[in-house]
Amino acid sequence: MDFKLHLLGQQFRKQPASLQSIQTEFAGQLGQVGFVDSKVAYEALLRSCDYAISTAYHEFQGLAVGEAVQCGCLPLLPNRLSYPGLVGAEHCFDAVGDLAQQAKAFVVQIEAWQGFSDEQRQAIWLHLPVQSYNWSTLRP
């Protein structure tokens, strides 16, 4: 499968070993790694992507996923936290087992989506609660 991988988000001094391993194993496919300083550049990068994948154990209200969905990404998320309620169970994977098992689940779903026409992908995206992620909706 031909792909480019962006690992977006704030970086801390101590990184999980799994993140280091991903960067080593997928060095040839890596694009942006870390925090994107410019909102314009961040949104442009998200608009260039097809999928937003998360393995988060903690995320504030799903905002990062919401931003990706707003930019046209199809979400693939763990079946935990608030994700199933935000995007529907069909966009969540069973987050049990090790990372290799989860990666296999990603590949199965992405391969299925890649077989879809542009119209089918658009229909999936249109059924996501995209407007609920709009900043004007989220602010108090």
Angstrom distance (rounded) from CA 67 to CA 125 = 13
Instruction: Evaluate whether residue 5 is within a structural domain.
Output: no
CB 75 within 8 A of CB 52: yes
pLDDT at 51 over 80: yes
Instruction: Evaluate whether residue 26 is within a structural domain.
Output: no
Give the structural domain span for 99: 36-138
Give the number of domains in the chain. 1
pLDDT tens figures, 60-107 = 667 888 888 888 888 888 888 878 877 877 788 776 666 667 677 777
pLDDT value of residue 39: 92
pLDDT tens figures, 31-41 = 999 999 999 99
Instruction: Evaluate whether residue 127 is within a structural domain.
Output: yes
Instruction: Evaluate whether residue 23 is within a structural domain.
Output: no
Percent of the chain with pLDDT over 90: 18
Domain holding 96: CATH number?
3.40.50.2000
Instruction: Evaluate whether residue 114 is within a structural domain.
Output: yes
| 33: β partners | 7
* DSSP calls for 19-83: HHHHHHHTGGGEEEEE--S-HHHHHHHHHT-SEEE---S--STTHHHHHHHHTTPEEEEESSTTH
